[in-house]
Amino acid sequence: MSTPSQPLAYTDAEVSFLLRVSKRTVIRLRKSGALQALRIGRAVRIPAEAIAQFVERNTIPAKEGRR
């Protein structure tokens, strides 16, 4: 079995680094349900797909430039 080039799931700290927000913000997003997570034993992980969906849902459309 080959290993994926990117992880399937990330820790809170890794997501905070990727999104450039605090770890506490990631935890709040998880607890509010805005960012889906899964539990493996006692560990909490955020699937890469959940991060992509979160970014897509929260992307602000660019404004057109002035003319």
Question: Which strand ranges, in their side-by-side order, compose the sheet holding 38-40?
Answer: 9-10, 43-47, 38-40
pLDDT computed for residue 26 by the predictor = 98
**Nearest alpha carbon to residue 27 among 16, 42, 38:** 16
What tens digit of pLDDT does each residue of 24-57 get? Answer: 999 999 999 999 999 999 999 999 999 999 999 9
What tens digit of pLDDT does each residue of 2-30 get? Answer: 667 899 999 999 999 999 999 999 999 99
Give whole-number Cα distances, 18 to 2, 23, 46, in Å: 24, 11, 12
